Amino acid sequence: MQTKPAAPSFGIITAILLMAGALAPAVRCGMPAAAPAPLPTGTRQAVLVVPRAPGSHTATLSLVELEGGVWRERMAPVPAVLGRAGIAPAGAKREGDGKTPSGVFPLGIAFGYGATCDTRLPYRMAGPDDYWIDDPASPHYNRWVRGPRPAFSHERLRRSDAQYTYGIVVEYNTAPVTPGAGSAIFLHVWRAPNTPTAGCVALSETDMARLLRLLDPSLRPVVAIGAPPAQPAPPTFVPAPHLVEISGPEYVLDLRYNTDNNFLGRNVYAPHGITRCYLHRDAAARLTAAARDLHAKGFRIVLWDCYRPLSVQRAMWRIMPNERYVANPAKGSNHNRGIAVDCSLARADGRELPMPTPFDDFSERAAVNARCSSDAAERCRNRDLLRGAMERAGLEPYPSEWWHYQLPDARRYPVLRDE
């Protein structure tokens, strides 16, 4: 298979596209929205905060990112805590109510105690004279100010504990500001795992540091706070015009990367809606010839992997950036070109024939010319039966993988970009 699909076993929340509508009506720029607001234009990264139960001050927090038209998980769900009174319905957040606002909000600057921070977000160090004003009567309400205490009520940003070691400003009620609608909403380090906040979202220091490293301001990140979104219909894969579907009685469809029965133990195709085998028409013509040859002899080709979108390849590389197992998406693989197929053989009734190794075996025994011991001779005969039909049809084997076949003039075919 030349490029092993290493894919995230994501609990990917593709429903982020519905997040604003599935939450209580979103608060946009701090003002109650009359109707659910869409994600801001250009948003490609979202922090998801989902309460564990209605009224609960405990939640989970995860990070998803849009790539190739698919939302994929970058940070698996971790424990978080909310305001002591849970989450406020949209437009109902009030100063001092102990509730966390619900909705979709841009993420602002990062801040903390250190002179620097390992993050790509704009960063500001909090000093002893830095305050966030939470006095609705102050002209500086819901603003960071520096200097002598400028208001009756304020939040000191250089605390005596670790809670603001790392923080991120949630742009709730900031542009414009509505006095009394709530202030000083941050993501920050929790006091303790089950201790609620006054309205912020808090998580462990380790998880907060990791989140800061992953957030990318070029992706216009937001935080979506509220009830779990309804799941949308599964994504539908639309093949490029020169890709054709491989199907018929000559085949057994068993796309291993559309299951967890692969060396990753993860389904990497489901988030992309890939449930069928597609190949470039030139490769499809040769595979069809081989399949007809074998079918006439009472065999069927088992399809393990075919065209693989480049967006999947990128996800694979993020999980396992090792070219021994996964092709670097910067170069692409022949699966990304649509000219390679991973396959095996089955009898007419669909039962697979024994082969020298399982799929995605990385030992020397998986080589197309590996010798078999006497007690494994049948396995080598089955492998060679497949190879003979494929080579007669004009497909060449990959030396280290008996199951991988491709067009011999691969570089004539460009990597197909689905992003």
H helices present in 181-223, as ranges: 205-214
CA angle, residues 78, 84, 88, in degrees to nearest 5: 90
3-state secondary structure of 387: helix
**Which helix H or strand E contains 107, and what residues bound it?**
strand 103-112
401 is catalytic: yes
Interhelix angle 281-295/377-392, nearest 10 degrees: 130
- In DSSP terms, which residues pair with 88 in a beta bridge? 101
- In DSSP terms, which residues pair with 299 in a beta bridge? 347
| CB 229, CB 18: distance < 8 Å | yes
Residue 396 gets which letter from DSSP? E
φ, ψ at 397 (rounded to 5°): -80, 160
Contacts of residue 280, Cβ cutoff 8 Å, sequence gap at least 6: 242, 243, 244, 307, 337, 338, 339, 407, 413
* Catalytic choice (67, 73, 250, 401): 401
Handedness of CA 129, 133, 139, 144 (dihedral sign): positive
| CB 345, CB 353: distance < 8 Å | yes
| CB 223, CB 252: distance < 8 Å | no
CA distance 80 to 59: 5
Cis link prior to 354 (omega < 30° from 0)? no
CA distance 350 to 344: 11
Active-site residues, by number, are 401
